[in-house]
Structure 1
Amino acid sequence: MLPPSRKYDDMDMISKLPLGIIETILCFLPIQEAARTSILSREWRYRWITIPKLAFIEETFQVTYDDELSILDQIIGGSNERKVKAKRCKIFNAVYQVLLMHEGPIHEFTLSMWADNSCVEIDHMLYHLSRKNTLKKLTLDICCGYKLPLSLFSLSHLTDLSISSCALDHQPTFKGFDSLTYLFLQEIHTTEKTLMHLLSNCPSLKHLNLGSNCTTIEYSDDYVIADLFKCLPVIEDLCISFHIILCFQPDRIPKKLPTALVHLKYLCMEGLSFLHKYGLPFLVLLIKSSPNLKKLKLQKWRCYMWLIDDSYLDEVEVGSVTLKDYQNIWVEHLNELEIVEFSDGKNALDFVRLILAKSPVLKKVRIYLDEDGDKDEELQILRVLLRSPCASPVVDIIVRQVRTS
């Protein structure tokens, strides 16, 4: 039997962990759980107030409303609006307490919740973070339509910025995010001027996700699509919605971009229709302008058609696309092609045949049919592709129903 002192030492091993390991453990915990670790031992007490990574996600908060509602409200079930405000208030109080007690740098900050422009508390949080001036990664998912404050543009050390469901205004005093390499913009409301000003002041940007048909961009006659790509000289990973392309005067698509996208390795285009008169020409333009492209992914949204105005429906027919139309394409480094929600009939099929004939190192072709596809269509498409000219001797072609995950 071990002596009592030995038993205690074995049980208290958690207190002897190196500070670096303690910090790593705390960074993986929700902030509420991280704060509770103060009771574990003297070594863990208030250690959570120094962790550099903070995340506040509404779904993870356990909130009861009994202390927020009157007795009458509790008897009759209470107002849903009042409950929402009560939960929002508790979340803000928690964030305020953490920021007030926190010591040392904050490198990552995440806030995901329902809010609106009446929530000045979010402005205060961002202002506090800008005063610390240590933030490197910021994630904001704030439904719905929250207008981001000026202090966002003062976070000069950012390397990663993710914004969802927010409004982004032009800030003429913005001098740029010199260190920003990753930018994710989804379901935002902005203007062409703001977007161009932001992108043109991110000289190190390598990863850009600019998608979603729910994104609204107020366009003007000041920019064309070539201007957008001038802002991305070192881009390596690009995911862009065709809906965004249509905001930049697509009738003025150039024969080639003024600057080749020589660093681009991965291209994903969402919401593309091969039937739209600008769809295939723009896609071919990007492929021809990306000499080192390795993976191409095309994805169509089922709801895409009804989200676009009637002018789209007047311009969908471009005619059949054949290999002869684009003989000057040579996709030297492409090794993977993936199409999700495959449709648009012969135009889409001919595009795949074009890629097969012009990609000498292609290894994988993955075609996922839309919800209307069936086994017979799978076999028919596969049969056509297997019989098509192919520049690569090792390409593996798979055609199947659209993935559910």
Structure 2
Amino acid sequence: MRHAARLAFAFPVALLAAPALADIPDGTIKVGVLNDASGPFADQSGKGSVVAAQLAADDFAREAPGLKVQILYGDHGNKPDVGSAIVREWLDRDGVAAVTDAVNSGVALAINGVIADKHRTFLAANVGTSDLTGKFCKPTTVQWTFDTWAMGNAAARALTGVGARSVYFISFDYALGAALERDTAAAFKAMGGTVAGSVKHPLGTTDFSSYLLQAQGSGADAVAFADTGTALVDGVKQAAEFGVAPAQKLTGLFTQVTDVHAIGLPLAQGLLLTEAYYWDRDDASRAFAKRFAEKMPGRVPTENQAGVYSSVLAYLRAVKKADTIDGEAVVAEMKAKPIEDALFGTVTVRPDGRAVHAMYAYRVKAPGESTSEWDVYAPIATIPADGAFRPLADGGCPLVK
């Protein structure tokens, strides 16, 4: 295991000389961005999440000249033990107040309790498993952007909307895949659909031939990839080569714009997906994408990176108002009233820590529909906030009375 000290880097963002506020050591708020720097989730999060966090810190600096913000970075390599080691050093040695991103559900579940025990804040901006605001909810955790229930609910609506009545799952064999398949299957069945079967593959799989043959043999109307990152890219590419689509409709339960870009429109066209943020959805999304591209030339922000920006900015504002980095107090402040966010609209943080906002279903455009390199989505549906996420009473969170 690589030593955590080799993986953490500090980025001073705003160094201003006004007096420190009470209960904020040295008037400095330290935020750690923890994700995957070179593995399957590097494009979705990676360096771009650090850039997004810095943009949030820059915006906050203009609002709070009496505070400093420092961004740290750690690469967990998709290993829960490595992630836990980095977070422990951040909290014990470096005085980190909040950890954001995480991106891997297994890592997130491992660090959730560590952060709660230290009374700091976990901004689970891009963690899929809905168990984080269910049975494993903590008073110091806010889950931002999406979760498997929201993605499954939106995907089920999209599939039934195009006439699919049965689905076959190709799923990650770890926490994210299990939760994606479980939550999508439940939503799809509630809408009258059936599950024709499923198969699991390990993280790092590149050959999907046997899984796709099983999907074809199932006779299902649709094939759902309950995975993401490079696995999704490889799976969709090979599905096109095997002729799975359009005979069987394809949906990526956890698909982001960088995945579609990597697949290419000729092979990805028609793929159904759901996202919480798309760079070309409205003027505010495009404005953020322009700022992001100035730091990351040739790229647009993913929903992960947008989630880091918005959750970090909301957190910093809550720290300022609460005048403390105590996790319980800051999260309580985030829950106190709706947050007006430029990228996600009105966001409400519920008692279980779930940040609730609208979700969107899209279809990947055909090459002839696209007008530029990153013009890849055609909208299908908007799922309003009150129907986008699991009902509060259904999650089993012990914080919910």
TM range (shorter): under 0.3
What TM-score results when the alignment is normalised by the length of structure 2? 0.27
TM-score if structure 1 supplies the norm length? 0.27
Normalized per residue, the structure richer in helix is 2
Structure number, greater radius of gyration:
1
Greater RCO structure (CA 8 Å; 6+ sep): 2
